[in-house]
Each structure stands twice: as C-alpha cells, then as structure tokens.
Structure 1
Amino acid sequence: MQNLAGEPQPPETWPLARAYRGEVFVQHELKVHRRDTGQSFIGSYSGAAVRDADGRLRLGIITIRDITEQKRAEDQIRQLAFYDPLTGLANRRLLEERLAVALAQAKRQGSRLAVLVLDLDHFKEINDALGHAVGDALLVEVARRMRSTVRLRHRRPSWRR
C-alpha cells in the first residue's frame, strides 16, 4: 500500500494491522494496489477492533471504499475554480488568494513583494478584427511562451476581460 504521495507504507500501518492492535480510526486515504487485477485505486478506509465480553481482541474489521472518481471530480473542480480553461494559467481568483498570502508573508518578514502585470496591447482589436478563434490562439501561444520562459516556482495568474 502507498499513501497518496506514492510513498510505500510499512505493513504495521496497514488498516488490518491497526485494527488488530485495537486502534479505532476513520476516513484515512491511501492508494491501494490490487494484486488480483493489477489496478490501483484511491481508497478511503476505516476500521475498528471487535472484543469479547472480557475485553479480549477477537478480530479487526476494516472497510475500504474506492473514492478514485470522487478524487478526480475534486481535482477537476479545483482546476475549474482556479485555472483558466483556455490557457491553463492560474486565474484571478487564485491570484488574489496567493497575493494575499504573499503580502501577509512579506509583512511578517519585513520584506518587499513585486508583482508583474502583463497586458497584450490591442488585444480587443485583434479579437474584433480577426475573430475569437484567432484571439484564443494568441492567448494560448502567449501562455505557452510564458510557461517555457518563467521558472515553475513563479506564479502566472491569468484573466481575460
């Protein structure tokens, strides 16, 4: 078994081992690899120990639910909420969130912060004269060039008016 970061988990941390030790746990997520099919999925698991009247451990019970589709949907919602669907660049909403964090951090550290704003001159005229398909192609190309020249750690929010 692996955690969601893809790191192998030692057997003593596996759900059944934890349940046998008497631990009660809920809603942990991990990547599960099925030996019988060779398929992997993201599982949400919970477990508990079953004890007899004298308090002796009788068995451990776990349930694992495949939440792969739920995780895909969450990723898609996050992508739609924070990234421009045409260019794939971060949008104004993500810019505002990251800028607020960066400003607070700069204030705490007593440091400065710079923001670069890029404007495409006469973009509206290009869109109006040549059509939205050409305007979209221009935005996609500008985004591609930005990604190829700006280091990954730098943020590239984008929004269209």
Structure 2
Amino acid sequence: MSSDCIFCAIVAGAAPSAPIAETESTFAFMDIRPGSDGHLLVVPKRHSTDLRDIPAEDLSAVVLESQRIAKHAFDAWGADGVNLLNCCGADAWQTVFHFHMHVIPRYRDKDKDRLRLPFEPGVRGDQELIGSLAASIRAALGEG
C-alpha cells in the first residue's frame, strides 16, 4: 500500500467507492469520471505504479478479472461492445499512478457513450516506419 494513493485507500476501505467485485488480489469499482455508462476500474490490491512494475501474477489477475466483468456488461447493461484499456504514464493519459485496467462498456446510443477515438481506425500507416519500429522493438526484446 502507498499512503498517498487514492486507489490504495479505496482498496483499504479508507476512501469511498462503488464496489463491483473483489478477489484475493483484485478490487473492482466504478470510475467516478466515466467515459460511458458502466465504466469501471479493476486494480491489484498490491500497489504498483504502472505496467512497467506490476508483478506478472498481479497483472494476470487484473486482466482475468477485467475479462470476467466485461463479459457480463453485455447482459447487465445492454452494452454493444467493451474496451479494456490501460494507460501507462502521464503522456498516455494515466492520472492515478496505481496500475489499473479500465473496463469501458461501449454503446451505439451516444447518450450512454461519451468516448471518441483519438485516431482513425482503418487508416493505413506508413509501412516503412512500421517496419523500422518493428525492427527496433525486436532488437530491444532480443528477438533479432
């Protein structure tokens, strides 16, 4: 636990939340700044700042719990789709520095869904740049 982390306080019951589910290693609760109706967060109970330092077992537990909850968004809320989103770092929109997964139900009805994409899906990128980036991450991974 981190003494100055709001999510640690929520997990400990020291800060208010609208809880959804709890496992031995995760806690899920509604997001107070939702992008859509039903937007919620799944966090590890053990504090990790972001994707770079979360232990593999906590990451696995959060992802599996996010999937379990996301499956029920279709029936419980009539969602037409679901996004799972993690933001790692301030420049990637992370605002609370305790690892968390957003479970965001998506709806055709835009009164329920206020999210808009920051990029255009389906628009083809620069193939030379894509190849260069693939080569540099392969090298960083030791994959040749």
By the TM > 0.5 criterion, same fold? no
**Larger helix fraction of residues:** 1
TM-score computed with the length of structure 1 as normaliser: 0.24
Q: Larger Rg: 1 or 2? A: 1
TM-score computed with the length of structure 2 as normaliser: 0.26
